[in-house]
């Protein structure tokens, strides 16, 4: 997975602090949802839930963060929460990072799991984003209830998959749920376009 490089990737994201989302190099040429207009990327801190002052142990600390949604703080999550980093612009719009670093191209199934893991709404579930994780079922129940109170309407979901995905190349796109109206921006960074993320 490349755990040692995850801090570098999170810090690289901070280099875009103050940028309008519409001007981010890895989003140029994409017709973005209206919620991206006028919104800036700003990450003021990177830490675990406990590091940010939340008291819950393990996944419960992550739940407290995801429920409270402090703006512009990037959460380093527990393994079962699923993302490799998550932050909130405000109560209804968020960002997330999902990282896969391998020596050989990723299997499509691994890529699909990575896409699922970036959806904050599916936190505390199994890799498929559908089935219950028995060890986290109580956390998931509380989190699901919190989503009813404060819906997440859109997420900037950044997927870093190195060196690439085997047999295909995912494209950056907007994914819209026709039922809920949720609009997520699905960003894909690999060895071909990595300069757009690791920006100089």
Give the whole-angstrom CA distance, residue 76 versus residue 181.
28
Q: What's the confidence (pLDDT) of residue 3?
A: 66
For the entire predicted model, the pTM comes to 0.95
Which domain covers residue 104, as residue numbers? 3-196
Helices (H), the chain: 6-14, 59-68, 108-117, 137-149
Number of domains forming the structure of the chain: 1
Report pLDDT digits (tens) over 5-53.
788 888 899 999 999 999 999 999 999 999 999 999 999 999 999 999 9
Question: What average pLDDT does the chain have?
Answer: 95
Report pLDDT digits (tens) over 51-74.
999 999 999 999 999 999 999 999
Report pLDDT digits (tens) over 108-122.
999 999 999 999 999
């Amino acid at each position: 997975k490349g755990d040692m490089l995850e801090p570098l990737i999170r810090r690289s994201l901070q280099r875009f602090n103050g940028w309008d989302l519409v001007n981010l190099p890895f989003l140029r040429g994409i017709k973005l949802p209206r919620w991206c207009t006028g919104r800036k990327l700003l990450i003021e801190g990177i830490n675990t839930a406990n590091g940010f002052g939340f008291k819950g142990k393990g996944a419960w600390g992550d739940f407290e963060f995801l429920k409270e949604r402090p703006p512009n703080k990037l959460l380093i999550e527990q393994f079962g929460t699923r993302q490799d980093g998550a932050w909130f612009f405000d109560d209804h719009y968020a960002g997330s990072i999902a990282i896969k670093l391998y020596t050989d191209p990723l299997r499509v199934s691994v890529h699909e799991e990575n896409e699922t893991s970036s959806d904050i709404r599916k936190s505390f579930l199994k890799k498929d984003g559908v089935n219950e994780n028995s060890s986290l079922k109580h956390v998931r129940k509380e989190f699901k209830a919190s989503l009813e109170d404060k819906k997440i309407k859109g997420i900037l979901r950044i997927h870093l998959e190195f060196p690439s995905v085997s047999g295909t190349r995912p494209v950056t796109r907007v994914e819209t749920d026709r039922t809920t109206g949720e609009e997520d921006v699905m960003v894909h960074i690999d060895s071909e376009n990595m300069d757009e993320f690791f920006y100089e």
